[in-house]
Amino acid sequence: MLARIGEELRRLLGWISVDDAFADLFEGNERYAAIEHEVVESGVARRGLAILTCIDSRIDPLAVFGLEPGDAKILRNAGARVTDDAIRTLALAVATLGVTRIAVVQHTDCAMASASGAELAAAVAAATGSDHPTFDPLAITDQSAALRTDVDVVLGSALLRDGVVVAGLLLDLASGRLTTIVEPRTS
């Protein structure tokens, strides 16, 4: 099913030429640039917060938490998993950009939790036309367990100073409500 969705999108969007692939984005940028907007003076997170959440386009992390641009650092990847690159980014945000709190936020109706690792890897293989035996999509079989593991990885990282507070949250897409799965704690 996952590969079929990708194929259908490619078929529907296949009419877009390479030259026009980003035209809609530049049109949107023209509208954005035409309106006066606040530019925060520095890259420091005003609320001392970093949010690691999923790439799912139904999630607006700032809106979910009632935040404004400049309040938090937003990291996104498939499934909101704590990867080496997420740790790299969090380490820099903590060391240089005022982050003292980290929320790892997964969500309901996530493709990473509704398909197996084998199915996700097969979708990538089908899309690329070749197998990638070392590819691990980091599928989620149990969101609570994945959140506990990922919070432990953050707290156990030698790249993050002691005292950073980390929590594991689950966003219900239908209601917009957050549930604490892993209580806030520090190393």
Domain assignment present for residue 20? The answer is no
Give ∠ CA 185-54-175 in degrees, rounded to 5.
85
Q: Write the CATH number for 128.
A: 3.40.1050.10
**pLDDT, tens only, 71-99:** 999 999 999 999 999 999 999 999 999 99
**pTM of the predicted model as reported, rounded to 2 decimal places:** 0.88
pLDDT attached to residue 10: 62
The total domain count for the chain is 1
pLDDT at residue 1 greater than cutoff 80: no
Instruction: Provide the pLDDT confidence category of residue 2 given band limits of 50, 70 and 90.
Output: low
Domain assignment present for residue 76? The answer is yes
Domain assignment present for residue 30? The answer is no
pLDDT attached to residue 162: 92
Instruction: Provide the pLDDT confidence category of residue 37 given band limits of 50, 70 and 90.
Output: confident
**What's the rounded mean pLDDT across residues 160-175?**
97
Alpha carbon separation from 58 to 1, 53, 108, 173, 178 (Å, rounded): 20, 11, 11, 8, 15
Do the Cβ atoms of 82 and 103 come closer than 8 Å?
Answer: no
pLDDT attached to residue 19: 75
pLDDT at residue 160 greater than cutoff 60: yes
Domain assignment present for residue 143? The answer is yes
Domain assignment present for residue 28? The answer is no
pLDDT attached to residue 15: 60
Q: Which residue has the tokens 């219900």?
A: 172
**pLDDT, tens only, 101-132:** 999 999 999 999 999 999 999 999 999 999 99
Strand partners, 149: none
Do the Cβ atoms of 164 and 101 come closer than 8 Å?
Answer: yes
pLDDT attached to residue 161: 92
Domain assignment present for residue 24? The answer is no
Domain assignment present for residue 37? The answer is no
Domain assignment present for residue 34? The answer is no
102: domain range? 42-186
Instruction: Provide the pLDDT confidence category of residue 4 given band limits of 50, 70 and 90.
Output: low
Lowest mean pLDDT among 8-12, 98-102, 105-109, 153-157: 8-12
Nearest in space to 47 (alpha carbons), one of 67, 31, 76: 67
pLDDT attached to residue 184: 98
